[in-house]
Structures are given as structure tokens and as C-alpha cells.
Chains A and B, each alone.
Chain A
């Protein structure tokens, strides 16, 4: 009985289900600042060599030592969900603590355990100690302390931070540094719009914004999610049709099995 084709088609349906799950996560994050879309990746499974007996041979029930061999595959498996680090649209917010990176690079933030995480989400807030923190409370690195005299900050494209005092004079607080990686695809997402480095991403390379290979900072702007709704809809249609076509395989094989069952009359 051709159950291999049934299993193969089932693996195809399962893969498309994972595909839809990844697409729906992208769509759910369409308004998430700094979100980078995922793409489900697949891999074919092992192949098996099977004998094909020539039609002309007619010895009943004998599997001849046929030299005619074909390779039959066993289906597909989901391999990974790849992040696509394409630039998202930059939208104005007029909030002085919102920063967007135009080009390569990540903001570096310090997690509560002292290790670093990296993010494209530049919606910072000021905490009780006057430091810039992310929505989850992680401190931007290198950190700046805004004292009670500060009425505003101004951040240049090169990341230089100036505090505006209440007497309208400005003092320099330092420079925001960006981190980039040789292989962004190797970064591990840990949720909260944060990434951590892995051996395959390489070590972070730190530099000031605007230097060669690094993006510039725009104050008062945020980077939107890079999910394109039309693209996701098209992927969803393709995934749904691919699911459907695999179910057609199941139906066809089922019909063939019915015919096989009807070979013997009575």
C-alpha cells in the first residue's frame, strides 16, 4: 500500500502549518516597533532507494534483482525561522526619547544579569535614576544620567547626546554607540524586541553612528516593523494553496487505495 505518499503529504501539510504560524506571528507584530519579520525555512528529508521491476517480467511474486533503481523521498521538515533584517519604515513621533537607526546597527542595552542585549527598538524612557531605559527597563549602554536641571535632550545623527539645561545652556553627555554583527542572521531573538549574540553572529563591533558601515540615528523617529502586509498576505495565500495541494495528494492516494481494494471482486 502506498502509505509513503500519505506520510510525505502529511509532512508537507505540517510544514505549511508551521509556515502559516510564522506568517501569523509576522502579521501580529505589524505594529511592533523595530520588529524584524521571520521566514520559515524547510529542508527535504532522507531519500530511499527502491527497486523498480520491469513491466515485461512476469514471474509471479518474484522481486527480481533489478538494476533499475529510483530514489524516493520521504517529505519535508521545517528547518528554521530565519530573521529578515530589512530596514523598516521610519515614522515621526516627535518624542525626544525616540530614536530610529537608519542603516546597519543595534542599540546596546544591559540586561539585569549584566550581559548585553541588542535592539532596533529605540523607544526609550527615563527611569527614576535619570537613565535611558527600554520599555522592559533595560539600561541603554553607554548610559547617561539626566539630572533634575535637564529640560530636554538633543541627539545628533552621529549619536552625540547633549542635555539642554533649564537655563537653555547645553552640556555634552557623551555618545550613543551602535553595535553591529558580521552575520545578523546568527543573532538569537529573546523576545521583547531584543537579540543576543551567538557564536554564529560573531562578536559585536561597536562604533559611533554614521561611521563607515553603521547607520545614523534620527531623534524623534521610530523604526516601524518591517512586515509588509501585502507580502504576508501573498505568502499566506501561497501557504494555504500549498497545504491544499498536499491534501490533494492524500485524496489521490486514498482513491488509489480504494481501487486496489476493489481489485478482487466478491
Chain B
């Protein structure tokens, strides 16, 4: 019976962690490129070990028009690739790009965006007259008629290995990604992908967690009462 109390206490703990995930989804309801975290659940695998099933929903978020030439959205599968100062590659769906002070295409945090030929430098072509930055569906960046580079779009085979980092980015261990197939994605210039947090699903999960927590609490109260009765048995 005491064991029961500990088991239920664990479930309280798990509910608490799940409400953290929901709170984060809701806080990021307006974050560009954010992907919602589905509350985790426990299951027993074929070897009898308990495992945690956690999923980051990679469902397409809504895209909104911004008309900014360096705002990019991906339709379909794939991630933009950016490299931080330490040379680590991060994957992101957040296409709010800008030009860094030295003329490279960079994300909102100043991490440089990767093209198929490395970093994308626009410094020299920036001063040309009569030219706009044009980025087509395949991610080919053109200034005037000159092709600068093509955006590198990456795909991962096992999305469950993606680890979140801040700024709507993901990192993956052992560079476990491949270059995406051109038919799997479409780049839209002047659009941004919104967060895919769905307030209805979040509210539903929140109610479920809240009620689950309440149930566990009631179970503890019931067990506590029974233990109390057990204590009474010895009394004369």
C-alpha cells in the first residue's frame, strides 16, 4: 500500500512536467517557426522496460505575408541550416533572416545561414544598381540575374532525435541529417511560418493534465485513509 503512494506521487511529478511543456507551447503561440511539444507519455517496450514517448509536432504552421525579401518560409519537409560561432550546425524553420554587418545572410541571432556552397555572402553584389534579392521556390538566391547561392535545406531521418535549442532551432547529434530532396519542399520569399501551437489542443491537454493530477491526488487521499484504518486495527 505504501508502494502505491509512491507510484501515484510519480504520476503527480510527471503531470507537473507535462504542464511545463504545455505552458511553453502556449507562451510561444506567436513565435515564428516554433514547433509544439506534445505532452509525453510512458509506455513499456517489448523488453519490458519503461520508455518515454515524446514527440515534437512537425506539422506545418500557418504562413503569413510580411513582404520582407529576407523573410523565408518552408512549405513541406526540411529545415534551414545555420552555423553558430563554434561551427555547430543548427536546424530551424524560423526564416527571419537579415544581413550581418559583414554582408552575410544570417538569422535573427546573427548565426550565418548555410547555402550549398557555404556561407552566403552578398556584400559585393549589394551595391549593384537595378537589382532585387530574389529567392525562388528551390531556394536559389539571385541578385539581378546573378545566382549567388542556393539555400541548403536539410532533412532528418529520425525527427525524434532532434534536440531543441533556443530561437526555434534544433540540434541533432552526429550530424544525422541529409540534404533534402527538391520535391519535398518549397521556399516562399516574403512569408514567415507561424508557431504551430494549437490553443484548442493545448487547452484540451491542460484539462486532461489538471484532472489527471486531481485523480492522483484523490488516490493518495484514499490510500492515506486506508493506512489510517490499518493504524486503527491495533488500537484497543
Interfacial residues, chain A to chain B (CB-CB below 8 A): 2, 4-6, 8-9, 11-12, 15-16, 19, 39-47, 50, 52-60, 68-76, 79-80, 82, 84-86, 182-186, 199-203, 205, 207, 211-213, 239, 241-242, 245-246, 248-249, 252-253, 255-256, 259-260, 262-265
B202 sits at the interface (CB 8 A):
yes
A248–B63 CA distance with the chains assembled, in angstroms: 26
Interfacial residues, chain B to chain A (CB-CB below 8 A): 2-3, 6-7, 10-17, 19-24, 26-32, 34, 37, 40, 42, 50-52, 54, 66-71, 94, 96, 98-102, 108-109, 122, 126-133, 143, 163-168, 199, 202-203, 206, 209-210, 213-214, 217, 220-221, 224
User: Contact partner of B24 among A40, A74, A182, A184, CB < 8 A?
Assistant: A74
Return chain B residues, CB-CB under 8 Å to A6. Answer: 23
Least CB distance, B210 to chain A, in whole angstroms = 5
User: Contact partner of A44 among B10, B70, B132, B166, CB < 8 A?
Assistant: B166
Known contacts A43-B31, A263-B220; is A68 also within 8 Å of B23 by CB? no
User: Contact partner of B210 among A42, A73, A200, A256, CB < 8 A?
Assistant: A256
Return chain B residues, CB-CB under 8 Å to A47. Answer: 163-166
Closest to B212 in A: A256
A57–B14 CA distance with the chains assembled, in angstroms: 13
Q: Which 9 A/B pairs are nearest by Cβ-Cβ distance? A: A12-B27, A73-B24, A54-B50, A199-B101, A8-B23, A5-B23, A68-B52, A2-B16, A212-B130
Known contacts A45-B166, A68-B50, A183-B99; is A245 also within 8 Å of B202 by CB? yes
A259–B8 CA distance with the chains assembled, in angstroms: 14
Chain A to chain B contacts (Cβ below 8 Å), 10 pairs: A41-B96, A55-B7, A68-B50, A75-B24, A185-B69, A185-B70, A207-B129, A242-B26, A264-B224, A265-B221
Least CB distance, A110 to chain B, in whole angstroms = 21
Known contacts A60-B6, A85-B68, A213-B132; is A72 also within 8 Å of B20 by CB? yes
Q: Are A80 and B108 within 8 A (Cβ)? A: yes
Return chain A residues, CB-CB under 8 Å to B224. Answer: 264-265
Q: Are B42 and A54 within 8 A (Cβ)? A: yes
A81–B182 CA distance with the chains assembled, in angstroms: 33
Closest to A198 in B: B101
Q: Are B203 and A248 within 8 A (Cβ)? A: yes
Kindly name the residue among B13, B21, B26 whose own CB sees the greatest number of chain A CB atoms within 10 A. Answer: B26
A183–B98 CA distance with the chains assembled, in angstroms: 8
Least CB distance, A255 to chain B, in whole angstroms = 6
A230–B2 CA distance with the chains assembled, in angstroms: 60
Return chain B residues, CB-CB under 8 Å to A73. Answer: 20-21, 24, 27-28, 37, 164
A226–B31 CA distance with the chains assembled, in angstroms: 23
Closest to A46 in B: B166
Known contacts A43-B166, A58-B7, A205-B127; is A9 also within 8 Å of B26 by CB? yes
10 additional A-B pairs beyond A8-B23, A73-B21, A256-B210, beta carbons within 8 Å, are A12-B28, A43-B108, A47-B166, A68-B51, A73-B28, A85-B67, A205-B129, A211-B130, A252-B19, A256-B19
Q: Are A12 and B29 within 8 A (Cβ)? A: yes
A40–B71 CA distance with the chains assembled, in angstroms: 14
Closest to B48 in A: A56
Closest to B108 in A: A79
User: Contact partner of B20 among A8, A42, A46, A212, CB < 8 A?
Assistant: A8
Return chain A residues, CB-CB under 8 Å to B122. Answer: 182
A47–B202 CA distance with the chains assembled, in angstroms: 19
Least CB distance, A238 to chain B, in whole angstroms = 8
Least CB distance, A10 to chain B, in whole angstroms = 9
Return chain A residues, CB-CB under 8 Å to B42. Answer: 52, 54-55, 68
Return chain A residues, CB-CB under 8 Å to B71. Answer: 185
Return chain B residues, CB-CB under 8 Å to A44. Answer: 24, 27-28, 31, 34, 164, 166-168
Return chain A residues, CB-CB under 8 Å to B128. Answer: 205
Return chain B residues, CB-CB under 8 Å to A70. Answer: 17, 21, 40, 52, 54
Return chain B residues, CB-CB under 8 Å to A259. Answer: 213-214, 217
